Amino acid sequence: MLKQNIEEQLQNQIEKEGSSSQLYLAMACWADVKGFKGAAEFLYAHADEEREHMLKLIKFINERGGHATVPSLPSPGKDYQSLMGVFKSILEHEILVTESINDIISLCLEEKDHTTNNFMQWYIAEQMEEEELARTIIDKLEMIGSDTSSLYLFDKELSGLSIHDPAE
Ligand code: OFO
């Protein structure tokens, strides 16, 4: 049975994963209309992954005697300045998400909730991969600079990139 304070923090995380999904979807729309088709594909796929992360938490709460609430999520807006700006925002966002996952784990340790702690380890592994990938993309975009033909090729490469499930 989940303790109330742990359920509340997990519920909070459901909202964060849902908001991440919305954010990636908005970024995908921007990339799509700006002609960055590869980046758009990457971001659409990532929006789906974040929704899966939300769903995984929802099911965990419900299976452990809690009752998850589906969050209402604000629109993330739609204006971005550049592909570099998009990926810098992604990295900042994911760093915040990692902090919030770490807070849940700290609470699990305090409450001796080893089951939830164990469950949340998957998210830690996922976050490490996501942050690393965002840093790699930013480094590549820095190297490319204003070289439009390299940017065109890199955009194509982006469509094939994804964060694989750490459980796989
Ligand atoms: Fe950013 O991946 Fe979810 O947690």
Per-residue pLDDT tens over the stretch 83-96: 999 999 999 999 99
Residue 165 belongs to a domain: no
Residue 116 belongs to a domain: yes
Residues in the chain: 168
Q: What is the rounded CA–CA span in Å between residue 23 and residue 134? A: 15
Which pLDDT does position 161 carry in this prediction?
78
Q: How confident is the model at residue 16 (pLDDT cuts 50, 70, 90)?
A: very high
Question: Could you tell me how many helices (H) and strands (E) the chain has, helices first?
Answer: 5, 0
Residue 167 belongs to a domain: no
17 ligand 1 Cβ < 6 A: yes
Q: How confident is the model at residue 39 (pLDDT cuts 50, 70, 90)?
A: very high
Domain with 16 in it: what CATH number?
Answer: 1.20.1260.10
Which pLDDT does position 165 carry in this prediction?
56
The residue contributing the CA closest to ligand 1 atom 4 is: 123
Q: What is the rounded CA–CA span in Å between residue 104 and residue 131? A: 19
Residue 98 belongs to a domain: yes
164 pLDDT more than 90: no
155 ligand 1 Cβ < 6 A: no
| CA nearest to 139, candidates 97, 84, 57, 102 | 84
**Ligand 1 center to 13 CA (angstroms):** 10
Which pLDDT does position 38 carry in this prediction?
97
> What are the C-alpha distances in Å from 38 to residues 25, 61, 89, 126, 147?
14, 35, 18, 22, 17
Find the farthest-apart pair of alpha carbons in the chain and give their distance in angstroms, rounded. Answer: 56
What is the Rg, in whole angstroms, of the alpha carbon atoms belonging to the chain? 17
113 ligand 1 Cβ < 6 A: no
**Ligand 1 center to 146 CA (angstroms):** 30
Residue 166 belongs to a domain: no
Q: What is the rounded CA–CA span in Å between residue 67 and residue 168? A: 28
| CA nearest to 101, candidates 137, 37, 53 | 53
Residue 109 belongs to domain spanning = 4-160
Give 20's DSSP letter: H
120 ligand 1 Cβ < 6 A: no
* Whole-structure pTM value: 0.93
Q: How many domains does one find in the chain?
A: 1
